[in-house]
Chain A
């Protein structure tokens, strides 16, 4: 009676608990009509019995051998005999994949008779010698627990001549393997194929309780009594004849995502030959005979439709019959992931939500702005090409020609070259060069200096405070220790790690993926229910931000004035001015705002533009704004409405700019650090005359506490997540913009949450309170990269309106589309 075993053809693929993951997969493939080498599964019940009783269930051995006879009939091969011997693969298959379980044993069933028959069938004695050696070693290692069995015996198999007698060869190899195993641990591999099979089955059951498997189950809360199934499958041979062979194929190109089979085939070979690199395979489309290629194509297309994904398929051809050995989801590059998701959705193979789930925000980031390859960076470090490490002020990885002054940077960039601008320090006189450069590096200044603030406003890769650098403008060289780089040398800059390298890194151009990315983001926007506003600073930033899918824009008055060269003058006038500045004293600010915001608003057209008012105590700009000096002279500027005239001037300027830009402009002004409903009400009164909508830009836990009333008194409400986290952590907000000091601190285990990349549990409660606001549009201002998890978390909290750095627009649009699609 058949009880414990099920063939691939009869098992229910949904019954993973009894069949295990691998068994269920093979049953599924078989029942999809794929030609899978026949086999059966010993269900997990048998394992549970074994674990309880300590022995194989009664009748299991008989059942295993009955199934074996069926396999012999189905395959036309004979176990332990000829003319073509039946060899088996035996492997473990738990319902949940876990480490520590027994590996596959291949070529089980080899004995003297089978070896001789196999030699005659393949005409390849050396191959048989290798099969014998490999089987012995695999069995010794996985079943008997030997360490490194068969070491040094490859030579013995390799020394077999084509005309050697197969029986003698078997005897020689087997004896040598046995002797080595005896010497090593006193064990012996059975030479009876049936004993081999039962030994392997029992070893699979035993492997359920290896130390590693138990630890893993303990940790993951997997019950210890599930047990594992055993998968017994007949093997097929790709080296039987010229019309046999083996190969691996991807249903689409896993590097570029381009449609069409991508893979390799090697006639007259076993899969191991390809993996071991012994022989070079050929592209499938050329090497596979036409009828087989057609069959493979059709099957791949059907499988793609069934699985809704690109697959990686192992196959073997045995005497012109195609067998499928393994089908799994294909690993792929970021570029391929984007193209595949867009194409599969476009072809209607998968639903839009499924397409979004196939791509991560990080992959979008890689495709839109490719970075350095890890290998290249490691190689450069090893070769001593790392020149120096400063403070990473704005992330990004760029290579370009070294330029030492801003005029030349602009000139070279206009001529089409990628330029890295190195300066001792930057000032407003460098703006044209900074805007033109791909990357900026300075010798002095910290993460709140002019270079850092402007670079962040521009989204330009930037490293500051690289104190080992000496810019010699006279000699036109950059000196680092004893190294001298002439202007024009290739250098590379990493704005996250703060590293400057000599030489360029190749950066893959994702041209082919861009169209696919646009298609995918259209799906994300259609599925999404959120609004994304992108941070811009200059009129030229607007078109790319909108093209990236932004629904609107955000900017800040101080950022715009810094990037247009006015901020130093403004700070100076505050330092020079009278203690009690009159409204007239701020007229200059109104003029500057009008002048610089007119082109920005004009470029934005009808798109909403959220503008943050000047923040003279912005922690991320403390050096640039000379905060200590300014607030010593004007303590009132430390509080949001300490000098209402400063806010009124910005409102006047914006109203004038909006009028000058044409009727479509939709600016609003938000005031940072508002924490009291009274401030919010005062702000609205102040703005009434200008007609510009206003609101609070909350940064503090107190502001959150009063958020409902603050929102009620405004036209808009913004909350800055970075500033709020910094306040809750009690850290200066600028420390959340750089790698250090937090990288080191986290590495030492002194903080359990990284406030730069995830929302702290202590902040979640505050966010819930904010998310409840309904009385006006509520936006969350995010800084730096926003992970898929954070985006999903914020979406789940109820936020639907976000502002991000321009480069994060596409990743966030995707992440929010995914979050909305569920």
Chain B
């Protein structure tokens, strides 16, 4: 087993693990760092067998999760002890399930009890969902703010959400849920994974 990860290594490896596969540029964007520095860190992590490089992107190895878990136990003990975080996280559970319902309403429309794919021909229907997403993201703000006081990297999430929402309003609706862009769905999903790791919890279901 390798020695513990320092904070920057953690941030980089965490971003790789959350994205499953990511370039140095994408990682730098997600953690608010410098691409050159990220690339160097990736090399170090590759040397320790925690990531592999393939086609200009880094992928986590099986060793990445245990290493991150061990590092998070050290790094985030104060976050885990913060009662405000605890309370906000409880509220997040509700917000998260509302988010999932909203996402499935974006993808599928209920028709007399049958689900059919949303063909996005009803601007009013889609508009309501986007309004809802806007509100749900606003509901994350208190939690993200508190987390950012512990670790500034959490402030990347509000920034990414803002960018995605602005794009959606400008007509780029793929930024709602497309898996191939930095969509609201992707950002939310990454945040959820990140939160669970920070708190040392397992995903339910």
Interface residues of A (CB under 8 A from B): 97-100, 103, 147-148, 212, 215-216, 218-220, 250, 253-255, 262, 330-334, 336, 360, 362, 373-375, 747
Can you spell out 8 A-B residue pairs with CB atoms less than 8 angstroms apart?
A: A99-B131, A212-B131, A212-B165, A255-B112, A255-B113, A331-B116, A331-B122, A360-B119
Measured between beta carbons, the chain B residues less than 8 angstroms from A215 are 166, 169-170
Expressed in whole angstroms, the Cα–Cα distance for A218 and B138 within the complex equals 22
Q: Which residues of B contact A218 (CB under 8 A)?
A: 170
* The 8 residue pairs across chains A and B that have the minimum distance between CB atoms: A215-B169, A747-B180, A99-B127, A254-B112, A219-B170, A255-B112, A97-B124, A254-B111
Q: CB within 8 A of A212: which of B113, B117, B134, B139?
A: B134
Whether the Cβ atoms of A375 and B131 lie closer than 8 Å is no
Interface pair A220/B171, CB less than 8 Å apart: yes
Find A375's partner among B112, B115, B124, B128 (CB 8 Å cutoff).
B115
Partner of B138, one of A99, A103, A147, A375: A147
List B contacts of A147 (CB < 8 A): 138-139
* 20 other A-B residue contacts (CB within 8 Å) besides A99-B130, A99-B131, A330-B111: A97-B124, A99-B127, A100-B134, A147-B138, A148-B91, A212-B130, A212-B165, A215-B166, A250-B112, A255-B111, A255-B113, A331-B109, A331-B111, A331-B122, A332-B116, A333-B114, A334-B116, A362-B119, A374-B115, A747-B180
Residues of chain B touching chain A, judged by Cβ–Cβ distance below 8 Å, are 91, 107-109, 111-117, 119, 122-124, 127-128, 130-131, 134, 138-139, 165-166, 169-171, 180
Instruction: Indicate which residue in A98, A333, A334, A362 contacts B127 across the interface (CB closer than 8 Å).
Output: A98
Q: Are A212 and B112 in contact (CB under 8 A)?
A: no
Known A255-B114, A262-B112: A100·B138 in contact at CB below 8 Å: no
**Chain A residues in 8 Å Cβ range of B112:** 250, 253-255, 262
Let me know if B127 and A97 touch, CB within 8 A: yes
Q: Are B111 and A216 in contact (CB under 8 A)?
A: no
* C-alpha gap A254/B124 in the complex (Å): 19
Query: Smallest CB-CB separation from B113: which chain A residue?
Result: A255
Give CA–CA (A362, B166) in the complex, Å: 31
Known A-B contacts A99-B130, A215-B169, A747-B180; A333 and B116 likewise in contact (beta carbons under 8 Å): yes
Minimum Cβ distance to chain B for residue A216 (Å):
5
Closest approach, in angstroms, between the C-beta of A265 and any C-beta of chain B? Answer: 15
When distances are taken between beta carbons in the complex, the residues of chain A under 8 Å from B115 are 373-375
Query: B171 to chain A: which residues have CB within 8 Å?
Result: 219-220
Closest CB of chain A to B104's CB: distance in Å?
A: 9
How many angstroms from the CA of A332 to the CA of B117 in the assembled complex? 10
Cβ A212 vs Cβ B111 within 8 A: no
* Complex CA distance for A811 and B77, rounded to whole angstroms: 60
Contacts of A250 in B (CB 8 A): 112
**Are the CB atoms of B114 and A212 closer together than 8 Å?**
no
Residue of B nearest to A96 (CB): B123
Asked if B111 and A332 sit within 8 Å, CB to CB, the answer is yes
Q: Output the nearest chain B residue to A99 by Cβ-Cβ distance.
A: B127
| Cross-chain contact B169 with A374 (CB below 8 angstroms) | no
Are B124's CB and A374's CB within 8 A?
no
B91 to chain A, nearest CB (A): 8
Q: Shortest Cβ distance from A70 into chain B, in angstroms?
A: 29
Residues in A neighbouring B128, C-beta threshold 8 A: 99
Q: Is the CB of B113 within 8 A of A216?
A: no
CA distance A353 to B104 in the complex (A): 34
Q: Complex: how many Å from CA A218 to CA B111?
A: 33
Residues of B within 8 A of A100 (CB): 131, 134, 169
**What is the bound-complex CA distance between A330 and B114, given in angstroms?**
13
The interface residues of chain A lying within 8 Å CB-to-CB of B138 are: 147
Query: Which residues of A lie under 8 Å from residue B170 when comparing CB positions?
Result: 215, 218-219
Give the CA-CA distance A98 to B131 in the complex, in Å.
10
Q: Which residue of A lies closest to B122 (CB)?
A: A331
Alpha-carbon separation in the docked complex, A332 to B111 (Å): 6
* C-alpha spacing A99/B166, complex, angstroms: 12
| Chain A min CB distance to B105 (Å) | 12
Considering the complex, give the chain A residue whose CB is closest to the CB of B55: A744
- Shortest A754–chain B CB gap in Å is 13
Whole-angstrom CA separation of A333 from B131 in the bound complex: 26
A374 touching B117 in the complex, CB below 8 Å, given contacts A97-B127, A99-B127: yes
Q: Smallest CB–CB gap between B103 and chain A, Å?
A: 12
Which of A216, A253, A331, A374 has the most B CB atoms < 10 Å from its CB?
A: A331
**A367 CB → nearest B CB, Å:** 12
Which residues of A have CB within 8 Å of B123?
Answer: 97
Q: Return chain B residues, CB-CB under 8 Å to A331.
A: 109, 111, 116, 122
Distance to closest chain B CB from A235 (angstroms): 20
Complex CA–CA separation, A374 to B116 (angstroms): 9
A717 to B180, CA, bound (A): 41
Query: In the assembly, what is the distance between CA of A713 and CA of B109, in Å?
Result: 54
B162 CB to nearest chain A CB (Å): 10
Report how far A332 CA is from B122 CA in the complex, Å.
12
Distance to closest chain A CB from B54 (angstroms): 13
Q: Check B169–A333 contact: CB distance below 8 A.
A: no
Q: B129's closest neighbor in chain A, by CB?
A: A99
Residues of A within 8 A of B131 (CB): 99-100, 103, 212
A374 lies within 8 A of B111 (CB): no
Chain B nearest CB from A447 CB (Å) reads 21
Task: Give chain A residues whose Cβ lies under 8 Å from the Cβ of B117.
Answer: 374
A330 and B122 CA atoms in complex are apart in Å by: 11
CA–CA, A330 and B166, complex, Å: 30
Q: Is the CB of B134 within 8 A of A374?
A: no
Cα distance, A513 to B123, chains bound together (Å): 28
Query: How many angstroms from the CA of A184 to the CA of B117 in the assembled complex?
Result: 39
Closest residue to A253 on the B side, CB-wise? B112
Chain B nearest CB, measured from A343 CB (Å): 16
Residue of B nearest to A363 (CB): B119
Closest CB in chain A relative to B21 CB, distance in Å: 12
Chain A nearest Cβ from B82, distance in angstroms: 21
Kindly provide the distance from the CB of A382 to the nearest chain B CB, expressed in whole angstroms. Answer: 9
Cβ distance B123 to chain A, nearest Cβ, rounded Å? 6
CB neighbours of B108 from chain A (8 A)? 374-375
Shortest beta-carbon distance, A91 to chain B, in Å? 12
Q: Quick one: closest B residue to A336, CB to CB?
A: B111
Assess whether B169 is in contact with A99, with CB atoms less than 8 Å apart.
yes
Query: In the bound complex, how far is the Cα of B36 from the Cα of A258, in angstroms?
Result: 63
Question: In the assembled complex, how far is the CB of residue B56 from the closest CB belonging to chain A, in whole angstroms?
Answer: 11
Determine the chain B residues whose CB is within 8 A of the CB of A362 once the complex forms. 119
- Considering the complex, give the chain A residue whose CB is closest to the CB of B134: A212
* Bound complex: CA A336 to CA B109 (Å): 14
Residue in B113, B114, B119 with the greatest tally of chain A CB atoms within 10 Å: B114
Q: A97-B123, A212-B169 are in contact. Are A374 and B107 (CB under 8 A)?
A: yes
Q: How far is the CA of A98 from the CA of B134 in the complex (A)?
A: 14
A262 to B113, CA, bound (A): 11
B127: chain A residues at CB < 8 Å are 97-99
Q: Which residues of B contact A216 (CB under 8 A)?
A: 169
Distance (whole angstroms) from the CB of B83 to the closest CB of chain A: 18
The CA of A98 and the CA of B119, in the complex, are separated in Å by 18
Measured between alpha carbons, how far is A330 from B116 in the docked complex, in Å? Answer: 13
- Chain B residue nearest to A332 (CB atoms) is B111
B134 and A333 within 8 A (CB): no
**Which residues from A are CB-within-8-Å of B111?**
254-255, 330-333, 336
Say how far B144's CB is from chain A's closest CB, in angstroms: 14
Cα separation A318 to B113 with both chains bound (whole Å): 27
CA distance A253 to B128 in the complex (A): 25
CA distance A336 to B91 in the complex (A): 41
A814 to chain B, nearest CB (A): 16
- Name the residue on A nearest B123 (C-beta): A97
Residues of A within 8 A of B130 (CB): 99, 212
Chain A residues with Cβ under 8 A from B134's Cβ? 99-100, 212
**In angstroms, how far is the closest chain B Cβ from the Cβ of A716?**
38
Which of A219, A330, A334 is packed against the most chain B CB atoms within 10 Å? Answer: A219
Interchain CA distance A227-B102 in the complex, whole Å: 29
Give, as a whole number of angstroms, the nearest-CB distance from A358 to chain B: 11
Cβ contacts under 8 Å, B180 to chain A: 747
Rounded to whole angstroms, the CA-CA distance of A620 and B114 in the bound complex is 40
Give the distance to chain A from B100, nearest Cβ to Cβ, in Å. 13
For the complex, what is the distance from the CA of A219 to the CA of B165, rounded to whole Å? 13
